[in-house]
């Protein structure tokens, strides 16, 4: 009995270390894939390029991700999950002004920190979303509809105007991703190659003002 306990005690640190190594390698591969797919597109990218970018053998990429297609789809789905995390747990009892403001701020910050991810997703959609049809028509459609229902209930309670909630979600997605997807256009028109913290704060505040005012959002905490 004591020997078995000793074996488990010895194995536990090794298993923990192996798990940490796997998590680190998967994160490195996904980060590298985001950069490579963003630069070269799906067809132009290769597992060899991704492995070189990640500083790992190609065999490791295959071991952790399975295939180029599996890696690409996992990356794209992860982008959407990361973008929409702020709306995951909303309910009709939440304050719509706080929820929408936080969602816009988080999306703007994500676009700033991960512009390659935004451009990668935009490129996939412009190609007709050949690798994301099941996700778009299934999991993401259900996600959008469940959030849209909360927006409808807010409208019924008089907390916002009865706007089309799905169009509102599309509007926020497109407005917050514009500064990453069309970075060259933004830089050319504004003369700012790199937006400062103050620039992003100003744009974010503007988008929040336009969305909240345009949708007639009223705080649930207002008297």
The CA distance from 148 to 35, in Å, is: 32
Q: Quick one: DSSP state of residue 37?
A: H
pLDDT recorded at residue 223: 45
> Is the C-alpha dihedral spanning 62, 68, 74, 79 positive or negative?
positive
This prediction has a pTM of 0.78
Q: According to the model, what pLDDT value does residue 157 have?
A: 95
Distance CA 39, CA 32 (A): 11
Whether residue 109 contacts residue 168, with contact meaning beta carbons closer than 8 Å, is answered with: no
Q: Which residue has the higher pLDDT, 86 or 62?
A: 62
pLDDT at 12: 57
Is the predicted pLDDT of residue 219 greater than 80, yes or no? no
**Per-residue pLDDT for 193 more than 80?**
no
pLDDT computed for residue 4 by the predictor: 61
First to last CA, the chain: 67
8 A C-beta contact, residue 208 and residue 98? no
Who's near 136: CB < 8 A, 6+ residues apart?
129
* Better-scored residue on pLDDT, 222 or 173: 173
């Amino acid at each position: 009995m004591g020997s078995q306990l000793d074996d488990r005690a010895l194995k536990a640190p090794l298993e923990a270390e192996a798990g940490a190594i796997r998590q680190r390698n998967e994160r490195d591969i996904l980060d590298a894939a985001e950069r490579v797919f963003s630069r070269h597109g799906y067809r132009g990218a290769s597992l060899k390029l991704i492995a070189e970018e990640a500083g790992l053998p190609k065999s490791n990429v295959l071991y952790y991700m399975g295939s180029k297609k599996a890696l690409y789809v996992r990356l794209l789905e992860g982008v959407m999950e990361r973008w929409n995390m702020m709306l995951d747990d909303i309910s009709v009892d939440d304050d719509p002004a706080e929820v929408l403001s936080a969602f816009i701020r988080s999306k703007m910050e994500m676009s700033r920190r991960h512009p390659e991810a935004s451009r990668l997703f935009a490129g996939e959609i412009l190609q007709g979303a050949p690798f994301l049809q099941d996700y778009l028509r299934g999991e993401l459609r259900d996600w959008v509809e469940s959030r849209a229902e909360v927006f409808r209930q807010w409208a019924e309670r008089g907390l916002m105007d009865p706007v089309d909630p799905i169009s509102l979600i599309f509007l926020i997605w497109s407005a917050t991703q514009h500064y990453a997807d069309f970075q060259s256009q933004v830089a050319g028109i504004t003369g700012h190659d790199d937006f400062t913290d103050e620039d992003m704060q100003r744009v974010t505040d503007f988008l929040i003002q336009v969305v909240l005012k345009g949708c007639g959002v009223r705080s649930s905490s207002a008297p």
